């Protein structure tokens, strides 16, 4: 699998990385109960295929996702992948999620992530979400730069930042990467974020390229209606009418193109995000090894101009 340089860093990453959001299990924005054994098998399968980075966050499963990643890598005998994680989302004793970019909070989070991940340094440490207080966001980014100088993290990036927030951060310390949502059902990043990052040589690793499973081809009205109570997608507008029927029609177009090329709808959806020159890589989640088998081809599949036009016909 070919690699691409992430921004101005020395990280050479594969076109897709393993996303460990769902493997964290149940929490406020979780995907319901997961099998750690299946999660570890999924991570190992992705690494076997050549994927060389894992993206997680402290908040996923309230620390559990990072612990699962550490368990998977403890048993992995091949080349160690890069490990990316995030800070800025914290939780209280009741498991309720909140946000903080205060220096003390970020330092506390970093030490906890280093411990859970069982690493001496985090390859890419990212602010998960900006906060409304610009001064606090600046305080957080300043602290990230300090952690980098101290060797606790190798590179620093952000997630869900606007162009204005990127400009503010860039004035304090270089931004290695941005992590925005990007898929055929969520294209707003194309307006200004992706062009800005391309111009400034900020790496882009997009999340939810398959719209949280909606574009995999496995979703139907019936399956969505039966999502477990702990699955955040039950309350997401993309999984409800009137958007749901529109999105499933899009899946039909993905399926038709995939059928001609021997690819799954999810692989076609991933390939569509990677066609954008500003995108360095896409985060792809999986909860078992079989799911990895159905998405790995998205890393190398190239859509023709005609296929891209066909996919975007209903936009």
Whether 143 and 152 have beta carbons less than 8 Å apart is answered as no
CB 295 within 8 A of CB 258: no
Count Cα neighbours of 31 within 13 Å in the Cβ-side half-sphere. Answer: 18
Q: What are phi and psi of 127, to 5 degrees?
A: -75, 125
Spell out the residues 6+ positions from residue 75 whose beta carbon is closer than 8 angstroms to its own.
40, 44
User: Of 60, 82, 125, 207, which is the active-site residue?
Assistant: 60
Q: Is 125 a catalytic residue?
A: no
Distance separating alpha carbons of residues 274 and 84, to the nearest angstrom: 19
61 conformational bin, left if phi > 0, alpha if psi -120 to 50, beta if neither:
left
Residue carrying the six token digits 């699998």: 1
Cα–Cα distance between 164 and 87 in angstroms, integer?
20
The closest alpha carbon to 270, from 184, 195, 201, belongs to 184
Q: Which residue has the tokens 């990677």?
A: 274
Q: Which residue has the tokens 């009137």?
A: 242
Contact between 89 and 129 under an 8 Å Cβ cutoff? The reply is yes
Cα-only R_g, the chain: 19
User: Residues with Cβ < 8 Å from 226, sequence gap 6 or more?
Assistant: none
The residues carrying an active-site annotation are 60
């Amino acid at each position: 699998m070919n690699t691409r340089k992430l921004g101005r860093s020395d990280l050479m990453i594969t076109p897709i990385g393993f996303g460990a959001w769902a493997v964290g299990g149940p929490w406020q924005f979780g995907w319901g109960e997961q099998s750690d054994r299946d999660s570890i098998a999924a991570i190992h399968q992705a690494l076997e295929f050549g994927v060389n980075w894992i993206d997680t966050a402290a908040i996923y499963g309230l620390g559990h996702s990072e612990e699962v990643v550490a368990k998977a890598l403890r048993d992995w005998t091949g080349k160690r992948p890069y490990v990316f994680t995030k800070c800025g989302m914290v939780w209280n004793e009741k498991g309720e999620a909140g946000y903080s970019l205060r220096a003390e909070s970020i330092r506390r989070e970093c030490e906890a992530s280093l411990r859970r991940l069982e690493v001496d340094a985090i390859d890419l440490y990212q602010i998960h979400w900006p906060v409304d207080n610009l001064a606090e966001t600046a305080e957080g980014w300043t602290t990230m730069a300090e952690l980098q100088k101290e060797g606790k993290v190798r590179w620093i990036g952000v997630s869900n930042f606007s162009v204005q927030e990127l400009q503010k951060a860039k004035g304090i310390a270089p931004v290695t990467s941005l992590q925005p949502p990007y898929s055929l059902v969520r294209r707003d990043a194309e307006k200004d974020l992706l062009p800005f990052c391309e111009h400034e040589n900020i790496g882009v690793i997009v999340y939810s390229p398959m719209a949280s499973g909606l574009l995999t081809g496995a979703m139907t009205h019936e399956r969505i209606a039966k999502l477990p109570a702990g699955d955040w997608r039950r309350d997401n507008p993309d999984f409800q009418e009137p958007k749901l029927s529109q999105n499933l029609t899009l899946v039909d177009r993905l399926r038709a193109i995939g059928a001609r090329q021997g690819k799954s709808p999810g692989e076609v959806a991933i390939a569509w995000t990677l066609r954008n020159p500003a995108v360095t890589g896409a985060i792809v989640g999986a909860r078992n090894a079989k799911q990895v088998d159905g998405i790995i081809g998205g890393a190398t599949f190239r859509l023709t101009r005609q296929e891209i036009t066909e996919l975007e016909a209903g936009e």
